[in-house]
Structure 1
Amino acid sequence: MAPFSIASTIREIEREVGTLSPMQKILLGTDGSVTAILENVLGCRVEVATLLQRIVPADEKVAADLDIPEGEEVNHRIVTLNNGDTGETLMYAVSDTPLSRLDPAFRQDLMRADIPIGRIMQMHRIEARRELKEAGVVVADTELSRIFGIYRHEPLLSRKYQIINRGKPLIAINETFPYGTFADDTRVIVEAPARIHMTLIDMNGSSGRVDGGIGISLEEPTIVLEARRSEEIAVHGDQESAETVKKTAGQVLPAMGVNGGAEITLRHTYPRHAGLGSGTQLALATARALAELYRRPAPGSAPPCTREIAALAGRGGTSGIGTAAFESGGFVLDGGHSFGASGEKNDFRPSAASRGIRPAPVVLRHAFPTDWQILLATPTVGAGVSGQQEKHIFRDHCPVPLGEVQALCHTILMQMLPGIVDHDLDLFGSAVNTIQEIGFKRVEHSLQPPLTQELIAALRSTDAACVGLSSFGPTVYAIGDTGMIEAEHAAKEAMGGCGGTTVLTRARNRGAEIRTA
């Protein structure tokens, strides 16, 4: 086996996540004390916070790493290294140490919760060397995102090494830190939520208004993108999503009076045209990141509001649910647009064909119960309706009968909204099931392929309180407080040989989040 090369590994890491700063390269490749490096560079004392420490039998992997018999006792320690002045978490470290190789004084200090390993070794004058085993990129899960104050799916840099004493591994250590930490330039990171679009409300227009909609913001899936200044516009990541981001950046930067460009990296996305609003979230996240990156409208002034960002990005011209999900999350009801000869709209069009029309106003926003689980099932039946096909559907199927619009409004007002406010899942679920059969949602259901219809039928046979189609699909959602694991199994079985994905999530009662690193 070829010896480990940190130089070539760093080149591979840079191809995966982007350029590393000299400090990041040093932290990944050093054979000295990370604690000492951090203290010298930051000019502060590094403090340890112990998250977990216990004596455990070595499993097969730990035994192999430490060259000890499986089952031998090791001290398993999980700590964070923190900036002693600010409290910022700098590093997450997991270590395993065989007790049989420790003298009593070293062991006593190691078992204390407040001393970095490098400092313990210095105190005891232990002569040792560090042998780097591997380095790479890991993706932040819920726990690491909480520890570092970053978003899920952001990349972290990680390395594994051994401290060798007297020819034997004394300690095996795995250290991890965010890619955005110790970087040379400013980066703006945005996390934007998916949403369920439950239905458009009024596709009749005789009231003088049109559109309107209801929807729910979701914890998962999310879009995470990162932007930094550049001379040109460059986008890295999923190709289809990257096209939307590049187009949005090309519209937004000149509109904000910016002569420069941006390098934008898509750290996490979810499929386009699946009924979960990825196009709107990509566009809004891009515009919001660029506004923050270039401090528009002006340094020190308030950033543009979500509706202004949506206007810059050309989103929200039919449904305001995606814009509202980005702004505040939760359950949202929007009021549509004025309709007629002197209205904002004079015909029936989807959002993608409604550029230049302001986002619909939010009439009601309410926290959605987070103890109700939401199952998303997306069958592999090709992308949902979009483009010219979507325009033709609006043209051919609108206006819908006024009686259906009135029945839909009655169901929303007298069942769905009270169900949410009173935390009455049965009442809410009854409303969701009812609206699948009336108004424009009835049209959307009629256009689904057989597999999607079979998926809906399978989920309706479970204990879920309700089952619905998000936007034009193909994503189907089910909501319940019990039996949702069984519902997920039923969805997977229904999708069978054609395949598909499932996500079991909850409502997100907050909007998109942004931070600077």
Structure 2
Amino acid sequence: MPEQAPLKIDEEIERLEETVGRLSPVQKMLLGTDGSVTCLLEVVTGSPVELETLVQKVVAADELVSSELEVEPGDEVNYRVVKLKNSVSGETLIHATSFTPLKRLEDRFRTDLMRADIPIGTILKKHRIESRRDLLRVRAFSDAGELKGIFNVFGKEPMLSRDYKIIRHGLPLMSITETFPYNNFQDKRRVVVETPSRIHMTLTDLAGDRGRVDGGVGVTLDDPCIVVEAERGEELTVRGENADRARAAAKAVMDRFDLGGAEITVRHSYKQHVGLGGGTQLAMAVGKALCELYGMPASAREIASAVGRGGTSGIGVAAFDRGGFIVDGGHSFGPGKEKEDYRPSSASVGVAPPPVILQADLPESWCFLLAMPDIPKGAHGKRELDVFGTFCPVPRDEVAELCREILVRMIPAVLEEDLESFGTAVNRVQELGFKKVEVGLQHPLIRSLMEEMRSAGAVGAGLSSFGPTVYAIVDSGTRDIQAAAMEVMRDVGGEVVVTRPRNSGARTRSA
């Protein structure tokens, strides 16, 4: 097999930085070194590095591995997955996988390789193996997947990885892949925030005849999520998805709390105005990251007030703060009160988030399916304001029944883990109060989605906020419901996300 041209690591590093952002000198060394990574890590951390073997077994080489190692398909290779850890702190520094053709190993080398927890560099040095490392590729990928638990990072944080071969006598002795999080080995402190999303089931009272208005019921979800990174900077710079909205939130928080500059990256996001609260979660994530970065102990309510969220429904703010199943108590209503007319959150700047009157954990076995058709986004901006002005107040008798449905059926169902009753309540809520208005203004496909998902086995289905996202609830067996949703959306396109409730709020870590 002809030799591959040497990788131009400087060009590859430049390409990576254009994709993922600035790399620190240590990251560049870890990606580009042709020496022992173990020794380099010990120099960088000032601590001994130990190896923990996760998997070690002999397997038959498949087509890809056999091509990489220049052996025959089916030849025996040693497959090893390890963690390189700081022996003092226990922190995982590098995750590595390797394939080694057994027929190219002397007996003593093979014996040491098959023993657990001996670094490759140590084995090579012990047996005085003359070899070289040929770097094949470096890359970044945006989903940590199973590695998030190994590195204790968030699932959508970017990872850096490199592939190389150890060459001996002109033939590959090993092929190795090493991976570490982009936010590790940085030369500046960085704050990373991961938000949940939320289902907004309904506003409870837009009649306003009891001296309060708004109120909300919702559920916090693990996915989709938003991931924001921030580090100190001389001025404010923002990059990534929805950068303009993130910049506006950052400026508001910096002004409110008198904070310095920052470099902010929206690393992962989801669609705005689809009924999942993306605007609130993004603004709150940016605010939280800045406050953590500058040591400002601001509460979620204080950040929400700074970025102008929670002026009608408090579900998004409470989901960010605490998670779970949430009921909020709305705002005082009338002349001289918190609110004097009917307005959505986007037009209620200056109104504080409402009090949370119930937060409860949802059963982890419950599953939520989100059907997101590619149809016009839900009402927002002036259109949303016009809807409130046109349809409010809603009939008092419907508000009374809605409140009874929530208090007598939905809340007990959560506390008693009664999925059937919870689903029944969700279905009835679609026919009452302001939720009936929201459903009535939707594309006809939305009703079809709810009906077909119920027919396919969902115990309940409803519209989240102004849509167009439709959610369905089950405890198992999602395949038929997914298929039913995709069939309804066949002509317009769309996607289905299967997710679980999150019984905690946003997560923050420093790197």
Which range, TM-score by smaller chain?
A: over 0.9
The question of 1:284 aligning with 2:284 is answered yes
1:158 to 155, 158, 161: 161
| SS of equivalent residue, structure 1 residue 276 | coil
Q: Deviations over 1:20-52 (max 9, x none)?
A: 111110110011010011112222111001111
Indicate if the aligned counterparts of 1:368 and 1:420 stay in contact, CA closer than 8 A. Answer: yes
**5+ unaligned residues in a row in structure 2: which ranges?**
none
Distance 2:276 2:71 in 1: 51
What SS is found at the alignment partner of 2:128? coil
Per-residue deviation, 1:376? 0.2
Whether the aligned pair in 2 keeps the contact of 1:335 and 1:362 (CA below 8 Å) is yes
1:382 alignment partner, SS class: coil
What root-mean-square deviation, in Å, do the aligned CA atoms of Structure 1 and Structure 2 show?
A: 1.0
Q: Counterpart in 2 of 1:411?
A: 405
- Work out the CA distance in 2 between the residues paired with 1:515 and 1:382: 36
Match of 2:325 among 323, 331, 336: 331
C-alpha distance in 2 between matches for 1:482 and 1:171: 43
Offset of residue 447 of structure 1: 0.5
For 2:227, give the aligned amino acid.
V
Q: Deviations over 1:250-290 (max 9, x none)?
A: 111021112x3211111110000000000000010000000
What is the CA distance between 1:294 and its match in structure 2?
A: 1.3
The one-letter amino acid of 1:157's match is L
How big is the shift at 1:232? 2.0
Where in structure 1 are there 5+ consecutive unaligned residues?
297-302
Tell me the TM-score normalized by structure 1. Answer: 0.97
1:387 aligns with 2:388: no
SS in 2 for 1:310: helix
Which one of 73, 76, 101 corresponds to residue 98 of structure 1? 101
CA distance in 2, matches of 1:2, 1:336: 66
Whole-Å separation in 2 of the counterparts to 1:370 and 1:509: 9
Q: How many residues align?
A: 508
What residue number does 1:373 align with?
A: 367
**CA distance in 2 between partners of 1:378 and 1:348 (Å):** 28
The one-letter amino acid of 1:208's match is G
Matching of residue 463 in structure 1 with residue 457 in structure 2: yes
Amino acid at match of 2:504: R
Given that 1:248 and 1:283 are in contact with CA atoms closer than 8 Å, whether structure 2 keeps it comes out as yes
Alignment-derived partner of residue 131 in structure 1: 134
Match for residue 249 of structure 2?
248
Is it true that 1:479 corresponds to 2:473 in the alignment? yes
Q: Is the 8 A contact 1:235 1:263 kept in 2?
A: yes
Q: Which residue of 1 aligns with 2:191?
A: 188
Q: Secondary structure at the match of 1:142?
A: coil
Mapped contact 1:201–1:408 kept (Cα < 8 A): yes
CA contact (8 A) 2:197 2:220 kept: yes
CA distance in 1, matches of 2:134, 2:477: 50
Q: Separation in 2 of the partners of 1:451 and 1:496?
A: 11
Whether the aligned pair in 2 keeps the contact of 1:197 and 1:471 (CA below 8 Å) is yes
Distance 2:490 2:507 in 1: 36
Residue aligned with 2:467, SS: coil
1:193-239 CA deviation, whole Å, 9 max, x = no partner?
Answer: 0000000000000000000000000010000010111122211112x
1:10 correspondence with 2:25? no
Distance 1:236 1:344 in 2: 36
Report 1:169-180 matches (<5 A). Answer: 169-180=172-183
The one of 20, 25, 29 equivalent to 1:22 is 25
Partner Cα distance (2:6, 2:444) in 1 = 55
Using the TM superposition, give the Cα deviation of residue 382 of structure 1 relative to its aligned residue in structure 2, in angstroms: 2.1
CA contact (8 A) 1:219 1:507 kept: yes
Q: Distance in 2 between matches of 1:436 and 1:213?
A: 14
Which 4+ residue blocks in structure 1 deviate beyond 4 angstroms? none
Distance 2:43 2:188 in 1: 20
Could you tell me the TM-score, scaled by structure 2's length?
Answer: 0.98
Superimposed CA distance per residue, residues 428-458 of structure 1 (whole angstroms, 9 cap, x where no aligned partner): 1110000000000000000101222322222
Query: Is 1:55 the equivalent of 2:58?
Result: yes
Q: Is the 8 A contact 1:464 1:483 kept in 2?
A: no
Between the aligned partners of 2:325 and 2:430, the Cα distance in structure 1 is: 18
Q: Do the aligned partners of 2:144 and 2:158 also contact (CA within 8 Å) in 1?
A: no
